[in-house]
């Protein structure tokens, strides 16, 4: 049964209905936060994260924007917000860390939604779309739109700050990238061809330990016959001082030449890290353990990409090496 209730994140009136009474799972359809699912247990814990609602809203809205054509829905579970470490990994790591990153995110959103056509404008409704770049309110989104226009990176209509405070006045802006804006987007998406690092996104679990230790790690060891010339970086295997793990993840993806996404176990963090790399223009190699319980559940929005379905660590190592040598090492720069 569908009800009109305030969104748990932004308090905007939206449709909420139960989709699994046994698991106490609810579906929310919000103009600001997009479509997302929320467990009842997570909902009870949200009150302690009130100051971070705009970050959670930004994550759900971005997931919706990226996957709405394929039906993908982000699920907020208690396990994802139960403590600071989990919340940082599942949410904080996905948010831009500075005003420049938010401005860059807006540029990339405009490019993506114009279908990469230079002359195409997109429409932004300022009251509803500020979560797209993790803004706290519509005034902040206006700030970034105004900045990008001032820098000559976008063209826009109706850019009038007085409209922000008027009621019943449409605040829809038609925005397109200028030539300089497209140049900036291309810079943001340009792979780091000089990097000798591969970022490994995978489930940190006993079921995948052997796959990493014997199937992936040797690809970065010179003495191994499958050495590729790239260091295999997995964030939980590295030590770092006074730096949040979420910041480390983003930093290391940016420093990498490509990313290996092993979706065994189908962890949302793996899909996010792969999506972040793709948004930067980095090649992503998809892998998954070759068992029905895993392959049958490959995320609907990544099934169109070829996956390496591996049987054991040796199989993964050999097939990954062939893929890297064919698609990464021999790629024309």
Number of domains in the chain: 3
Does residue 223 fall inside a structural domain?
yes
Are 160 and 56 found together in one domain?
A: no
Given pLDDT bands bounded at 50, 70 and 90, which one contains residue 71? confident
Q: Is the pLDDT of residue 33 over 50?
A: yes
Task: Let me know: does 185 contact 178? Beta carbons within 8 Å.
Answer: no
Are 169 and 232 found together in one domain?
A: no
What percentage of the chain has pLDDT greater than the value 90?
55
Alpha-carbon distance 94 to 90, whole Å? Answer: 7
Residue 31 structural domain:
2-83
Alpha-carbon distance 86 to 78, whole Å? Answer: 10
Q: Give pLDDT tens digits for 212-240.
A: 999 999 999 988 999 999 999 998 877 65
pLDDT score of 241: 58
CA distances from 240 to 3, 267, 275 (A): 47, 24, 24
Are 79 and 103 found together in one domain?
A: no
Q: In a 3-state reduction of DSSP, which class is residue 76?
A: strand
pLDDT score of 299: 57
Are 111 and 162 found together in one domain?
A: yes
In 167-312, alpha helices (H): 179-189, 206-210, 245-255, 268-279, 292-295
Q: Is the pLDDT of residue 187 over 50?
A: yes
Task: Let me know: does 106 contact 132? Beta carbons within 8 Å.
Answer: yes
- In the chain, DSSP finds a helix count (H) and a strand count (E) of 13, 13
Does residue 229 fall inside a structural domain?
yes
Does residue 89 fall inside a structural domain?
no
Q: What is the mean pLDDT of residues 13-20?
A: 89
Q: Give pLDDT tens digits for 243-273.
A: 677 778 888 998 899 999 999 988 888 988 9
pLDDT score of 215: 96
Final residue belonging to a domain, choices 83, 116, 139: 83
Q: Give pLDDT tens digits for 75-100.
A: 999 989 988 878 887 888 788 878 99
Q: Tokens in use for 262?
A: 């092993």
> Looking at residue 160, which CATH number applies to its domain?
1.10.10.10
Average pLDDT, rounded, for the chain? 86
Name the residue with tokens 């105004």: 146
Give me the phi and psi of 145, to 5 degrees please.
-60, -45
Final residue belonging to a domain, choices 83, 115, 145: 83
Given pLDDT bands bounded at 50, 70 and 90, which one contains residue 333? very low
Alpha-carbon distance 126 to 121, whole Å? Answer: 15
Q: In a 3-state reduction of DSSP, which class is residue 93?
A: helix
Alpha-carbon distance 146 to 242, whole Å? Answer: 35
pTM, two decimal places: 0.65
Handedness of CA 191, 193, 197, 202 (dihedral sign): positive
State the Rg of the chain over Cα: 21
Task: Let me know: does 31 contact 14? Beta carbons within 8 Å.
Answer: yes
pLDDT score of 294: 57
Are 7 and 125 found together in one domain?
A: no
Q: Give pLDDT tens digits for 105-152.
A: 999 999 989 987 888 999 999 899 999 999 999 999 999 999 999 999
Are 19 and 72 found together in one domain?
A: yes
């Amino acid at each position: 049964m569908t009800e009109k209730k305030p969104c748990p994140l932004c308090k905007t009136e939206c449709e909420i209905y139960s989709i699994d009474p046994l698991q106490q799972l609810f579906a929310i359809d919000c103009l600001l936060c997009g479509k997302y699912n929320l467990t009842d247990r997570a909902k009870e814990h949200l009150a302690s994260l009130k100051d971070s609602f705009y970050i959670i809203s930004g994550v759900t809205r971005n997931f919706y924007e990226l996957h709405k054509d394929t039906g993908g829905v982000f699920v907020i579970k208690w396990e994802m917000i139960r403590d600071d470490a989990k919340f940082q990994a599942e949410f904080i790591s996905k948010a831009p860390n500075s005003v420049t990153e938010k401005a860059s995110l807006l540029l990339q959103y405009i490019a993506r939604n114009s279908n990469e056509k230079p002359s195409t404008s997109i429409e932004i409704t300022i009251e509803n779309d500020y979560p797209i770049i993790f803004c706290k309110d519509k005034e902040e989104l206006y700030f970034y739109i105004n900045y990008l226009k001032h820098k000559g990176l976008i063209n826009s209509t109706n850019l009038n700050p007085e409209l922000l405070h008027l009621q019943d006045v449409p605040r829809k802006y038609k925005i397109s990238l200028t030539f300089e804006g497209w140049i900036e987007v291309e810079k943001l998406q340009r792979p780091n061809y000089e990097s000798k690092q591969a970022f490994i996104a995978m489930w940190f679990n006993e079921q995948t330990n052997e796959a990493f230790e014997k199937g992936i790690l040797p690809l970065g060891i010179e003495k191994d016959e499958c050495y590729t010339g790239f260091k295999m970086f997995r964030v939980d295997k590295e030590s770092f001082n006074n730096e949040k793990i979420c910041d480390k993840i983003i930093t290391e993806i940016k420093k990498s030449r490509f990313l290996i996404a092993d979706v065994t176990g189908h962890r949302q963090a793996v899909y996010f890290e792969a999506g972040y790399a793709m948004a930067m223009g980095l090649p992503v190699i998809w892998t998954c353990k070759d068992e029905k319980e895993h392959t049958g559940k490959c995320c609907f929005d990544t099934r169109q990409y070829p996956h390496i379905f591996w049987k054991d660590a040796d199989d993964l190592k050999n097939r990954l090496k062939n893929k890297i040598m064919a698609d990464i090492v021999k790629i024309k720069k």
